Structures are given as C-alpha cells and as structure tokens.
Amino acid sequence: MRVINHVKNTRIILLIQIISYFIVLILLSSLIAIILTNTIWSSFIYLFHIVSQLACVFVILCIFGVVWISNDYTDISEHHRILAFGLLAVAILDSLHLATLNTSFLSDISVRHYLEARFMESAVLFLATFRFIQKKLHNKYALLFISIFTTATILLIGRFPISWPTLYVENVFTSYTSMLQTLVIFIYLLAFISLVYQYVRYTVCDRYIILSTLFFMSSGLSFMNLTNPLSFFIVLGYILKFIAYFLLFKAIFITSIVHPYKALKLSKSNLNEILNKLPIGIINFDKNSVLTFANQHALNLFECNFSQIYKLTRDQFSMKFKIVDNIFDHKLKLLKTAKNNDLIFNSSDIYFDNGMISTIIDAKHEQQLNKFDLYTYTILNSIDNLILLLDTDDHIIDCNNALTECLEMDRESIIGLNIHDFNNKIQLMYKDGSYLDAANNKDKNLEYTLTTPNGNRKSIVSQYNSITNVYGEVIGAVSIAADLTDFKKEYSNLQNQERLALIGQMGSGIVHETKNYLSSIKGYCELLLLSLRDERQKGYASKIQFIANDMNGLISEYLNLSKPSQIILDVLSLNELIESTRYILESPSFIAGSTLDIDLCQSDKDVLADESQLKHVIINLAKNSVEAMKEVDHAHLIIKTVVKDNNMQVIISDNGIGISPENLKKIGTPFFTTKKTGTGLGLSSCYK
C-alpha cells in the first residue's frame, strides 16, 4: 500500500512539474508571438506561413529518420513507430496543404488538407498511447501502409467528385470547419488523458510526449475560427505547433539514441567490472592485434599498470615481457614481469571476429583434485550426505557411498561423467518439473527430483559450491545433497493423519445429524409395520427399516478413519452377511446398469469378525467395481464365497478397466483416488 501511495505521489509531483514547464513555455511563446506579430508577420504573412509549416515538416522527417535508422540497432517501441510513420503521413498532407495555397493565402482545398493533417496528427497521438500491437511490423510494410493510406486520402478528398461540405469561403471558415477543429482538440484531450493515466511512472520520454500533447492542443485552440490573418493567435499557434513537434523529436531521440548509448556504456562498465573480479588473468586484443583491455588479475600477474601495456601489439607485448613458449614438456610458458620476476603460466586463446581474448593462469595455483588419498576417501564415505566432487572442467572425479546407494549406481559408472550428462542420466529436475539449467545455481539450497536407472523417483535438496585453493582460486566444485524421499513420505503421512483427524471432527457432527434423520425414518417404518395389513407393503417397510439400520452403521464407520472404534467380534456366517447386503447391492441406484451374480458356497463355515465393518468393506469394494465398469459394455459384477484351506474367502470381481501397476501400489493410501469426484477414503477405510 505504501509503495502504491508513493508511486501516486511521485506521479502527481511530476505532472505538476510538466504543467509548470508548460505554463512557462506558453508565456515565452506568447512573448515571441507578440514580437513577431508586430514585425515580420504583418509584412510576410504568406512566407511566414510557408516557412513555419516547412519547419514542422522538417522536424517530422527528422523523427521519421531517427526511427527508420535506429530500427536495426535498437529496440524501438511500437508506439514510437506508430508516431513516426503516422507523422510521416501528416508531413505529406501538410505538404499538400502548402502546395494548394493560392495568392489569397487560403483556399477550400488547402483547408481540407490542413484539417486532414490535424485529424491524422491527433489520431496518431491517441493511438500511440495504447500498447495494442504485439508483433513488430517491418519498416517496409509500415511505409507501404502509410503510402497507400495517404494516397487513398488524397484521391478521396481532392480527385474524386464527391460532394464535401465547404470549409472555407471568402476568407471565412465555415461552421463545419469549427466543428472539425473542435473534434480534433477533443482527440488531443483524449490522448492527454490516456497518457496521464496509462503510464505507471513518467520517464523523461513520457514527460516530453505529455508536454507535446498539451502544446498540440493549445496550437489547435489558437488556430480555431480565426478570420483575421494578422491575428496574434495565428503566430502563437505556429510557435506552439513547432514546439510540440520538437518535444516529440526529443522524446524519440532520447529513446532511440541517448538511452541505448547510455545502456551500452553501462554494459561495458559492468562487463569490465565483472572481468576484473575473475580469478584468472584476461587480456583482449582487437582485430589489428592491439591490446585494448587487461583485467586486474592479469595486471597483478604482470606486476604492471594498464598504461604500460595499453595499445601494444601482440609482438610488442611478447617482447616487453620476454615470453618463452613450450617449457616444461611443451605445456607452459615463461615471462618476465615488469618487476623482473619469473612467471610460469598456462594460457589459452579464444578468437572471434573482432579480435582475441587470452586467459592467463599461474601454474603454481593449478592444483588437481583427482589425487585424493585413502584418508579423504574414508572421510567421504563416512558422511551420510550425498557428495559429488568435480574438477575445473565439470567432470566428476569422486563420489561417496551414500550417493551411489541413493542413485542405485556403481561408483565406476559415475566417475568421469560430465556433470551435465550426469544430470540428464538421472533426469535431475527442479521440484516444479522444469529441467535443471546446468550448474548456474551455485551457493543455493535447491530442491530437485531425480529418477534412478531402476526407475525409482527420489527427492533431494542440494547445494553446489566452488572449491578454492590456498590462494583463493577455484580448482573444482563439490555438490552436497540430502535424500528427502523418506522424510517427504513421513511428512505426507503426518499431513494425512491431520486431515483424517479433521474429517473425524466433521464426521461426528454429520453422523449426529444423519442419525436423527435415520431415527425418524425408522420410527415411521415401525408405525407403518403396525398399521399396514398388506404383507407385501409390510415387506417393503421392513426392507426400508433394515437398510436404514445398515446406513446408520455404515455412516458411523467413517469415523474409524480418525478415531479407532471398538471392534465387536462375533461368530457369523459370511453367506448370511452377504445375503443381508443384497437389498443394497441389487438396488438400481447402486448397481447402475450392471448385472450382479452372488455365488455362495454350499459348505459355509462360521467366522469370527465384526459384522458391521465387514459389511462396510464388501459394499465399498462392490461400489468401486461398479464405478470401474461405467465405460464397459455388459458390465458384470460377481461376489462369491469359497472355502480354501479351512478358511473362508470372499471374492469380488468385475470386468472393468482394471488398475495400473503404478496405482496398485497406492491402493489404500488415504485421499488417493483416480475418480474425478472421489475422496480416496473408501478403500482407505477398508484397509483399516
């Protein structure tokens, strides 16, 4: 909220500054207009008009030229391109206005072209305030469009015999002219309002555009309904119009030329600062092999100032420092520093179109990480975290046992791999599913997922750090990670338990209310049984009462997910228990178009079980079978009991879509479901 208020206050202050600047320029313009009216204007009306219009046209062409030339080098915004190409059409129409002037100064056709130009001018300003063009239009196509548009306008107004209202007759503007000028000023006003409210912050460019819109509007008011050619307001209108175009030119010039130049200068400064921070020496030669840059580390190695080596050629540089190539088995070089000290170094050259970059590395600081002794290896394997060691070329040189066990890979298959190939091999990705972007996240604890070669998916948190030697130079890297897979599983179970506890609290209230309704149903069933004489109707009432009792027990069983209920064991017959659920299983709302076969064995054996909970399990499994057969023709549900090895078995089978091996592992997990409207609690309660 404070940020929003600060932005609003800043906008108000800047707007006040813009208006103050506008008032000052208006006063100065008025003073100049008074002077010109009493001197040049009265004697050279026709010439002054032509020069003023040509000056405006010249500024427009400068605006167009800046945008046209800068388009290939800088990212010109689309609303500036609209301004440039739209104003080009304005310049053409203003030129036609000048070409159609007659000896009496103005004519009806010249006034038409003048108003066309003002309409185009105001419309372009208004359209340029919106960012409605997403795709960049090529300059040639934009120019072709403007050419076709202006040609069509010229032909429509000046060449085809269409009856247009008269705008200027006998040195007097008609009422149509006043109406059109008022409409143009109104469009200017809309452009000003749009500019003020659309920009989040007023940059220098925005301020110039807003200010130019005010001057365009003021210029239109000065030219409105004037019949006296010697009027002070006509001179003021020309001055304000020129100022408006000049402000637009400044806005586009700043955006197209000044800002890119400053950005380039800042970018160069940042690049030099970055290169100066690198722990290796870097020197740059241009395409003529002249030294143009050396970073601070290189100057420290050469023990000299930049002024001592600036603009030396490569040969002069080699002679100055007495560089000797191919020493120590043709791998290193030797030079004498500015203080006559020996420096043995390793260098590599990178060539590009505009020159070459050489990297300088002091040989005594090149320590190798791949010579770990037995003690280091023992220490690594005693650590529970996953550890990976890399050399300066991002190749894996060692890892500990914890990492190989987590990834289910051999140490030999890991060592020697490039870190990027290794990441691809184990499908290392960020936790949001996006692929890892190399190793650009140094010194950050980030969470990743990976898949072992055996197909097991795991979660880890890892940090990638550089290894430096005693001189502070980077000689490798280490990746330290922790396996979060088991922790996440435990955390997920804890969350499920919390959700189950909440469901238990909610369920107690729901069961209480539902039992009240079931009690009413049971009471009315008892009344029906007492009052009915028809045995068939009594049978229906008895079934309703029986099902209500079952519903009462089943609803209560859902509380078992969060609050263990007391198991009431009793000797019962599975066949009789399944028969008691037949009314529910065969009801049309339950079976949903499937056929049901109940096959009960003849030699039924009694079992010790909780009748209510066993009913709950059978109904839940049957319900899942029916829902799995919704898309199957001839859906068939079979419930049967068998005796096997002196044990009773209940087998519930269907010809539905089946369960994938991946989902089979998750069956019984609370809240896991593949149904759009399922809760994942039915089978969970069965497993419980």
| 128 within 8 A of 82, measured Cβ to Cβ | yes
Beta bridge partners of residue 358, listed in sequence order = 283, 349
Spell out, as residue ranges, where the chain has pLDDT lower than 50.
1, 3-4, 161, 200, 328-330, 367-372, 435, 438-439, 562
Residue type, 665: K
570 and 560: one domain?
no
Residue 64 lies in a domain: yes
Residue 495 lies in a domain: yes
468 and 560: one domain?
no
Q: How many domains does the chain have?
A: 5
pLDDT value of position 67 = 80
223 and 289: one domain?
no
pLDDT value of position 148 = 64
324 and 410: one domain?
no
Residue 677 lies in a domain: no
554 and 586: one domain?
no
123 and 49: one domain?
yes
Residue 517 lies in a domain: yes
pLDDT value of position 142 = 55
| Rounded Cα–Cα distance for residues 185 and 219 (Å) | 9
| 321 within 8 A of 299, measured Cβ to Cβ | no
Give the position of tokens 């008269």.
166
pLDDT value of position 517 = 76
Residue 605 lies in a domain: yes
Q: What angle do CA 328, 332, 338 make, to 5 degrees?
A: 115
Give the residue among 589, 521, 500, 504 at the shortest CA–CA distance from 555. Answer: 504
pLDDT value of position 329 = 44
Contacts of residue 488, defined as CB under 8 A and 6 or more positions apart, other chains included, come to: 459
448 and 380: one domain?
yes
174 and 198: one domain?
yes
Q: What is the pLDDT of residues 436-451, one digit of tens each?
A: 554 455 556 778 888 8
CATH number at residue 203: 1.20.1070
pLDDT value of position 372 = 44
Residue type, 452: T
b/e burial code for range 82-97 (CB count within 10 A of at least 16 → b): bbbbbbbbbbbbbebb
Token representation of residue 260: 């890119």
CATH number at residue 624: 3.30.565.10
Q: Is 55 exposed, middle or buried, given 0-12, 13-18 or 19+ CB atoms closer than 10 A?
A: middle
Domain boundary among 215, 236, 262: 262
Give the residue among 133, 244, 125, 250 at the shortest CA–CA distance from 194. Answer: 125
Contacts of residue 374, defined as CB under 8 A and 6 or more positions apart, other chains included, come to: none
Give the residue among 192, 194, 208 at the shortest CA–CA distance from 254. Answer: 208
181 and 58: one domain?
yes
| Rounded Cα–Cα distance for residues 485 and 459 (Å) | 5
pLDDT value of position 330 = 45
> What is the reported pTM?
0.41
pLDDT value of position 385 = 86
| Rounded Cα–Cα distance for residues 610 and 650 (Å) | 15
542 and 612: one domain?
no
Residue 457 lies in a domain: yes
Domain housing 499: 486-564
Residue 681 lies in a domain: no
pLDDT value of position 606 = 86
| Rounded Cα–Cα distance for residues 447 and 493 (Å) | 20
Residue 176 lies in a domain: yes
- Residue 565 DSSP symbol: P
| 54 within 8 A of 232, measured Cβ to Cβ | no
3-class SS letters over 304-365: CCHHHHCCCEHHHHHHHHCCEEEECCCCEEEEECCCCCEEEEEEEEEEECCEEEEEEEEHHH
Residue type, 389: L
134 and 229: one domain?
yes
83 and 164: one domain?
yes
